Structure 1
């Protein structure tokens, strides 16, 4: 038996200075969809998420909360675990940067880079943003309120002078540009790759990678007065989870380099410039891809705690149900673009696509089988051309979905599935099995069999996005839990005539704002 192909996907590790919001749910959901899809497609998957718990912001947030940093991190990290559970994320590991394995890993990476001559000690003076955990050149600053200097993100900056270790990032300009040329899909969407290349071509300065003005972080090896700069600490989590510094470990050998690092566009530079440079400087392989997605607004407004329009994913799931939330977030906006959330748009999208399209197809088909076929899978006669064409087109959509998801175009994968849902609805409407009961019962049985087969295949394909709803639907079709992988699509897993089916029930209720409120 051939060895299964491997797939490693990561979220950014989330900073614990605040509680989870819709942005965190969105990023992890995208990774969950891709991980679930690859498992269904026979891959050995490693899906990693976790929390980034070091840095000056955490130290300040803990002090403001009147607790020590570790207790603060334990509490907030717990909320991210709760989010993963409430959204039914299927991550294989949840990593925390305060774990001893991570501290060992980050220090080992530092030592490799230093041993290769890419770290030196000096002094830093320049503009620093505590909120962004980033240094900025004078040319990057913008005017904020009252003429205050701010980072491009709008975060305030302060002038910082302190001893520091530096990474020789300037020496990696040409190697990085060559790496991007050799790997043109390293960053997606393509517009983000253009941004990265432009930034690197603009010239790279050596990067300050340690701090002495606070102590909540990973100590620099052999110089504990220095704490590692948060990005060299945080980024190392992706290899910590695979057993680094043991590069001969089974997980490291199996899963590195990562197939996809999923990130928000605001942290693209750290993942697409600093991280591959760190890895190459350590003599290790860079990841295969960084995908930078967009941000959500709320009813056209930028999401902000001060405005009070933060979207709470826990509340959204409680109001509308988990799979409706998962579907909307993955379907509404081209993945990679910015998107706007509105409750009206949410309800309209879910009612149109889930209740009216997929739900109606499944409920109508299964109800007619229950009523007209003694609640058993009907026995088809010889399939007509239109029957064969519908089933063959649905069977073929897997390859199209694979292509889209390998480019992280999740919205396009869903569009491809929904085109077949629409075709199946059109097929039932054209064949009118309700009218065939009296005129041609054999043809009625054939049409209902084909429709049920269409639902089975479409439900298997949609599992990655809506696992709970598709589990209920496949249960109603009598499909064993072991027969729901993509290897059961088409002829291989065809419904068995005469098999008793449970009583059908709706999978996608219609949503209304009144009921949610």
Structure 2
């Protein structure tokens, strides 16, 4: 390893082996592969890790139900993940399994180190345990867990980690961005958890103030108007809250110690020296990030590897497991004296037709369905006789079809005539083509970090509009024009020969036609913007900028109409009136050269930018441009620092074939049928070997059963980790949300005889002005929206049942009124810190939010009196 090379260590969560993979898993892994490919082409020493999480009680019971040993069960499911990543061309450098011997050894060594450092202690815990989700949940015995089944009461002797000792340190690291968490909404969520319930402290300040009549308060009474704008300052003076290094408030002691072991589970890593305890699956899983690169090994080479690659440059995770990665994992590393990861980025949930993918809903989508369906569209490149270009018979139709260039929509194209029928495409080539389609759709359609929708209709529509009619059509029309140009009789005697192009001089000043430099300027701007957006993992906007260049180039070709010039030359040549050596026709040909160069050079830059996203398809375009192997070009650094003029005049084109043939609308129904094979219908689009006509096993524990979500887990009262659903056994102080009284629009409408209150009661209600910063739907909760609001002095999360009447987009930016000192409660596993004020007409009328007409004149946090 060169010490002059910048290293980049990237990880995905390791996926829980409760079932086979689906596109939720693929989404995470695709994003990681794009990031890894980009860093490799930049010349970074890149190490990309993925794998599977294979321990825990759920796996143990599922294996028994399937009649397999836990190891046999995990071997089968883990192999299905690895086979899919290989089928999709994922370029991982290592595939870790938590059942690997070197991983088990690393887990035990880290556990022992923490025990030696007094970061672990032995205690007991009693709580309600959801076996299906492998998590403790709040509530009394018999509570229905997030898996829909009654929980089990579990009392165990556990080893606990002293998480409470790291509250201030973690807050300071995250607030200073030494531990970078993206996107901002997740960073705020983590900080809110670490800072504790500041809302309750604010309420405590007001509760201790005794108010009488507002007009004549007793002597010495502090009335609301005399309280400071920020009641937390009073709490700070009384020692109820402390301040971080950046002067932000937090509640000391809000972070609770958590369990690191179980005694009722045997399928896992034994605690060293106390083997009746099994190390908790989530802690076991997190250690994969260091065990895979040599932590705990006695091998000097592995030790060097760990020193070289750790800390991780980026942990890529789903948003539901950020607490484990952004709180528990950093705390463990601090306790062990190990460096923290540099950055943690969380993506959102993938929704299928507006509902979160879930096995119980039956709306999961297997990646194999998309690979099999779109693979049928793949067109292999032709084989040319003696590497020559021979005009096809279709070119005789050019008088009827002046352009004749759209290979995606017409059979009359100016494409080379192949000397022999192309060989049938290899299944691997079909898979890689289809994987590119899925890669592009997921990264273009879904802003990374937000929830996004998936549907077969949207997939086909995006494919046809962006790939078939956009990028693919631009490539086909440009390269076919070049073939037509240099296959005419007028240039047969050219020393450049057939199948060469761009008869420009070597002077790069002539490359861009002086009459239209806009494409060159936009290409240079696109390179700058694209690099910065991809660096921030903003894939959707990055691809949007590339497609703006595709559109600009396509418009340039349309406006320039080079086919008209070609037709004029052909007609003049046929009549014998053309003189190619004359100045007039020489300038005409030179202009044509420039038009074709501008288009071809723009395609080269577009293709280089798209390589990490669509490696297989861009390789095909790169070869058609005559530039050889794009993988080799990437390894040589030819795809970075892109400059206009890199396409050399005189380059010979490679064999041409359609890149993205149009997808017929029947493909939508085909994929739907493949996912719901109740009544299999033969299709002409796929053969018998690629259709799925056998329903998945009904037994959910069978390795062949349809998968449930894991990296994109369902919302629940706990969190999940490393693709599993294994949270902490924190000792909660907050009552279960079922014990909280209904409020807001969930409560019954007030009757006319509602008991009156006195002023003493009213002044206890803290009404504040807040601005909505974030609004998003909560999966599996049709009525709830999750809001993040800014009170000026702090930001907080509020859940509101207004999703039936308001979209998230129309709420962002509004200034509303909230009850700021309402005791927090939990819904759907999320804590709500306050309540929105709204009025409605009738029992089921739309709630009208209390807002302000002149909102900008009202400071955030202002109190209503």
Q: Identify the residue that residue 244 of structure 1 maps to in structure 2.
A: 295
Deviation, structure 1 residue 426: 1.8
1:152-167 correspondence runs (5 A) = 157-167=151-161
Normalised by the size of structure 1, how large is the TM-score? 0.93
Deviation, structure 1 residue 316: 1.1
470 and 448 in structure 1: CA distance in 2 versus 1, 3 angstrom threshold: same
Q: In the alignment, is residue 507 of structure 1 matched against residue 659 of structure 2?
A: yes
Q: Is the 8 A contact 2:520 2:644 kept in 1?
A: no
325 and 178 in structure 1: CA distance in 2 versus 1, 3 angstrom threshold: same
Q: Identify the residue that residue 354 of structure 1 maps to in structure 2.
A: 467
Q: Identify the residue that residue 451 of structure 1 maps to in structure 2.
A: 599
Q: Is the 8 A contact 2:524 2:644 kept in 1?
A: no
Q: Is the 8 A contact 1:106 1:236 kept in 2?
A: yes
Q: Identify the residue that residue 169 of structure 1 maps to in structure 2.
A: 163
Q: Is the 8 A contact 1:370 1:503 kept in 2?
A: no
Deviation, structure 1 residue 156: 5.6
Q: In the alignment, is residue 429 of structure 1 matched against residue 558 of structure 2?
A: yes
Q: In the alignment, is residue 197 of structure 1 matched against residue 251 of structure 2?
A: no
Deviation, structure 1 residue 498: 2.1
Structure showing greater radius of gyration is 2
Deviation, structure 1 residue 391: 2.7
SS of 1:46's equivalent in the other structure is strand
Normalised by the size of structure 2, how large is the TM-score? 0.57
Q: Is the 8 A contact 1:16 1:53 kept in 2?
A: yes
Once residues 541 and 121 of structure 2 are traced to their aligned partners in structure 1, the CA distance between those partners, rounded to angstroms, is 47
The more displaced of 293-302 and 62-71 is 293-302
Once residues 177 and 116 of structure 2 are traced to their aligned partners in structure 1, the CA distance between those partners, rounded to angstroms, is 27
SS of 2:638's equivalent in the other structure is helix
Deviation, structure 1 residue 491: 4.4
Q: Is the 8 A contact 1:483 1:493 kept in 2?
A: no
Once residues 272 and 155 of structure 1 are traced to their aligned partners in structure 2, the CA distance between those partners, rounded to angstroms, is 30
How many residue pairs align between the two structures?
A: 510
Once residues 179 and 330 of structure 2 are traced to their aligned partners in structure 1, the CA distance between those partners, rounded to angstroms, is 14
Aligned partner of 1:284 among 328, 331, 338: 338
The more displaced of 382-391 and 270-279 is 382-391
Q: In the alignment, is residue 405 of structure 1 matched against residue 556 of structure 2?
A: no
Q: Is the 8 A contact 1:69 1:216 kept in 2?
A: yes
Deviation, structure 1 residue 35: 0.6
Aligned partner of 1:218 among 248, 253, 269: 269
155 and 415 in structure 1: CA distance in 2 versus 1, 3 angstrom threshold: farther
CA distances 1:281-314 after superposition (whole Å, capped 9, x unpaired) = 1000111112111112222233222332210101
Once residues 471 and 120 of structure 1 are traced to their aligned partners in structure 2, the CA distance between those partners, rounded to angstroms, is 56
Aligned partner of 2:457 among 344, 358, 361: 344
Aligned partner of 2:502 among 378, 381, 385: 378
Once residues 148 and 326 of structure 2 are traced to their aligned partners in structure 1, the CA distance between those partners, rounded to angstroms, is 22
Q: Is the 8 A contact 2:447 2:538 kept in 1?
A: yes
Once residues 515 and 168 of structure 2 are traced to their aligned partners in structure 1, the CA distance between those partners, rounded to angstroms, is 57
Q: Is the 8 A contact 2:179 2:341 kept in 1?
A: no
Aligned partner of 1:390 among 515, 519, 522: 519
Deviation, structure 1 residue 479: 1.1
The more displaced of 190-199 and 369-378 is 369-378
Q: Identify the residue that residue 498 of structure 1 maps to in structure 2.
A: 650
The more displaced of 293-302 and 204-213 is 293-302
Q: Identify the residue that residue 285 of structure 2 maps to in structure 1.
A: 234
Q: Is the 8 A contact 1:436 1:443 kept in 2?
A: no
Once residues 132 and 386 of structure 1 are traced to their aligned partners in structure 2, the CA distance between those partners, rounded to angstroms, is 65
Once residues 300 and 515 of structure 1 are traced to their aligned partners in structure 2, the CA distance between those partners, rounded to angstroms, is 21
Q: Identify the residue that residue 127 of structure 1 maps to in structure 2.
A: 128
The more displaced of 470-479 and 498-507 is 498-507
157 and 187 in structure 1: CA distance in 2 versus 1, 3 angstrom threshold: farther
Unaligned runs of 5+ in 1: none
Q: Is the 8 A contact 1:350 1:511 kept in 2?
A: yes
389 and 256 in structure 1: CA distance in 2 versus 1, 3 angstrom threshold: farther
Deviation, structure 1 residue 231: 1.4
Q: Is the 8 A contact 1:395 1:457 kept in 2?
A: no
SS of 1:62's equivalent in the other structure is helix
1:364-375 correspondence runs (5 A) = 364-374=477-487, 375=499
Once residues 373 and 473 of structure 2 are traced to their aligned partners in structure 1, the CA distance between those partners, rounded to angstroms, is 22
Once residues 156 and 500 of structure 2 are traced to their aligned partners in structure 1, the CA distance between those partners, rounded to angstroms, is 76
The more displaced of 82-91 and 507-516 is 507-516
Q: Identify the residue that residue 613 of structure 2 maps to in structure 1.
A: 465
Deviation, structure 1 residue 13: 0.4
Q: Is the 8 A contact 1:10 1:31 kept in 2?
A: yes
1:11-50 correspondence runs (5 A) = 11-50=12-51
272 and 502 in structure 1: CA distance in 2 versus 1, 3 angstrom threshold: same
Deviation, structure 1 residue 356: 1.0
The more displaced of 252-261 and 213-222 is 252-261
Deviation, structure 1 residue 461: 0.9
Q: Is the 8 A contact 2:173 2:179 kept in 1?
A: no
Q: Identify the residue that residue 769 of structure 2 maps to in structure 1.
A: none
Unaligned runs of 5+ in 2: 197-253, 375-433, 488-498, 569-584, 671-865
Deviation, structure 1 residue 241: 1.1
CA root-mean-square deviation: 2.2
Q: Is the 8 A contact 1:86 1:314 kept in 2?
A: no
Deviation, structure 1 residue 155: 7.4
Deviation, structure 1 residue 184: 6.7
SS of 1:163's equivalent in the other structure is strand
Deviation, structure 1 residue 345: 1.0
414 and 79 in structure 1: CA distance in 2 versus 1, 3 angstrom threshold: same
Q: Is the 8 A contact 2:314 2:343 kept in 1?
A: yes
Q: Identify the residue that residue 319 of structure 1 maps to in structure 2.
A: 373
